[in-house]
């Protein structure tokens, strides 16, 4: 899940969250070893996830000029005003099935940590889970990833178990966390409140 976030002198960042597309995968896969030094995902794994269609929701976070109001442009590679893959600063994915959801991955590039990007990705994914009828959401997180665990706790996640040797090939252990119910007015209010407290601005592209 989200690697540990460090302090930043300039935490303000404008973001646009866009659905992950096939032309994002090469860049995202190239970022993986720096985002997750142990057990990075391969490009093939991202391809496999996107191939699941409506059972998955993957978002790419872009920062900089492409995130400014009025510059959304097209969502086609090379189109006018298209989002530049070089501005990718984070990404995350969600699996949905029946009335449950599961965070598959959330990552932020090291130079951009501490700016609320991981939190914004989580909030967007959880809102999508609510939209499609999920009543709960689960995830795994490394036992030594204290920053991510603190974020998840703020989002209402609690520990429900541990998986020894879950992360491969490193053999790292994972806590299993879950939040429920997420389909309530109270949980929507929690997400809205967290979002208001985050630095910078964000837009969610269709």
Does residue 26 surpass a pLDDT of 50?
A: yes
Mean pLDDT of 174-187: 97
Helices (H), the chain: 22-35, 43-50, 117-131, 146-154, 185-196
The conformation of residue 99, written as its DSSP 8-state character, comes to: T
Query: How does pLDDT run across 159-173, given as a tens digit for each residue?
Result: 999 999 999 999 999
Biggest alpha carbon–alpha carbon distance for the chain: 48
The average pLDDT across 191-203 equals 93
pLDDT tens for each residue of 68-112 = 444 444 445 544 345 567 799 999 999 999 999 999 999 999 999
Give me the mean pLDDT over the 124-143 stretch: 97
In degrees, rounded to 5, the angle at the alpha carbon of residue 105 between the alpha carbons of residues 54 and 10 is: 120
Degrees to nearest 5, angle at CA 135 with 137 and 106: 25
pLDDT band of 2, cuts 50, 70, 90:
low
Task: Report how far residue 55's alpha carbon sits from residue 59's, in angstroms, rounded to the nearest whole number.
Answer: 14
Domain 14-133+188-204 belongs to what topology?
Answer: Aminopeptidase (3.40.630)
pTM of the model: 0.87
φ and ψ at residue 194, rounded to 5 degrees: -65, -40
CA atoms in the 13 A half-sphere facing the CB of 70: 0
1 or 183, higher pLDDT: 183
């Amino acid at each position: 899940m989200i690697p540990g976030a460090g302090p930043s002198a300039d935490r303000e960042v404008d973001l646009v969250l866009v659905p992950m597309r096939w032309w994002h995968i090469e860049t995202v896969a190239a970022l993986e070893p720096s985002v997750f030094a142990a057990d990075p995902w391969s490009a093939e794994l991202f391809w496999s996830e996107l191939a699941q269609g409506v059972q998955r929701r993957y978002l790419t976070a872009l920062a900089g000029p492409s995130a400014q109001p009025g510059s959304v442009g097209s969502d086609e590679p090379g189109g006018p005003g298209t989002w530049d893959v070089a501005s990718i600063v984070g990404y995350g994915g969600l699996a949905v099935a029946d009335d449950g959801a599961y965070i598959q991955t959330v990552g932020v590039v090291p130079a951009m940590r501490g700016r609320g990007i991981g939190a914004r990705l989580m909030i967007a994914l959880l809102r999508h889970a609510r939209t499609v009828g999920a009543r709960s959401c689960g995830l795994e997180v490394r036992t030594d990833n204290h920053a991510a665990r603190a974020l998840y706790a703020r989002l209402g996640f609690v520990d429900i178990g541990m998986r020894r040797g879950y992360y491969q090939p490193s053999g790292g252990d994972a806590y299993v966390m879950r939040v429920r119910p997420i389909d309530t007015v109270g949980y929507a209010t929690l997400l809205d409140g967290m979002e208001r407290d985050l630095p910078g601005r964000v837009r969610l592209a269709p």
